[in-house]
Chains A and B, each alone.
Chain A
Amino acid sequence: MTETVGTETQAAERPRFEVGQQLPVRTFRVTRADLVRYAGASGDFNPIHWSERTARAVGLPGVIAHGMLTMALAGRAVTGWAGRPDAVRDFGVRFTRPVVVPDDDTGTEVEVAAVVKAVEDGQAVLELSATCQGQKVLAQARAVIQV
């Protein structure tokens, strides 16, 4: 899905939110190259995010994505739904299962969905869910956005 572009368009197309509304599912592809790039950009060089040997040695099924990368992708979904890059007021998640990223060109996919739980005082509360290979990777995931 294409990211929103153009601030004027965003202002004109500011979405409306209603309680119970399901927001369109966003799918993000994650490859090993993405993990390397995120490691460099974030400064998190934990080898479980790039070394198969280290990941397996600590009991993981393989190299896993940074939890904070998964959260960042969920954040992209949130700002996309909000229609503004600065809409997020509160954003919290629990990491439940690792996102395992195979060493191939296609990697894996993280799907992010949300339902609107409340709309009041110019803010909307979104309950998020994120899955990878059909398994829940985030829990208690919630964002409060300015609407």
Chain B
Amino acid sequence: MPLNRSYVGRQLPPTPPYQVGREKIREFATAIGADDPAYHDPAAAQALGYPDVIAPPTFAVIPTMAAAEQLRNDPELGLDYSRVVHGDERFQYTRPVVAGDELVCVVTVEEITERAGHEFLTTRTEISTPSGEPVVTVWNKLVVRGGATAGGEERA
């Protein structure tokens, strides 16, 4: 079933705030081998001017994945997750994510395109604090593989 084109431009309701925990940042930083003290030690982050430990740049994928569940579980969109591979990802930061942040995600379906039998779904997630301070904007492009094509093939 092809993706429902009427979703282009659709904005989903804001998510409940994602509470950024200090230990979650440490766990994520450890998992990617990022041992910079600012990711682990509040004093090191404070020396850089932040109230608590800061998150590595790709940490923001965690709240966006939770926000995208809304699309994944929406039968009207027709996203077959078993055929999905990750295409592109981009983060545009206003400031780093800091432990103690509450992050509200607003997901917009930016584009649905088709090429060579595959469909491409691009979402933009605006991540801000509950008071509206922008933190980071995240673009995610998923590739929905067509028919018999195997996953992970080369793309231009």
Contact = CB atoms under 8 A, between A and B. Distances in A.
Interface of A: 3-8, 28, 34, 37-38, 40-44, 48, 58-61, 64, 67-69, 71-73, 75-76, 78-79, 84-86, 88-98, 139-140
Nearest to A61: B152
Interface of B: 24, 27-28, 30-39, 44, 47-48, 50, 54, 56-58, 61-62, 65-66, 82, 85-93, 96, 139, 150-152, 154-156
The main secondary structure of chain B at its interface with chain A is mixed
Contact of A7 (B44, B88, B93): B44
Contact of A92 (B39, B89, B96): B89
A76 B65 contact: no
Given A7-B44, A42-B62, A71-B58, A95 B86 contact: yes
B154 to A, nearest CB: 6
B110 to A, nearest CB: 14
Nearest to B54: A86
A37 B150 CA distance: 26
Nearest to B94: A89
Given A7-B48, A68-B86, A71-B89, A88 B31 contact: no
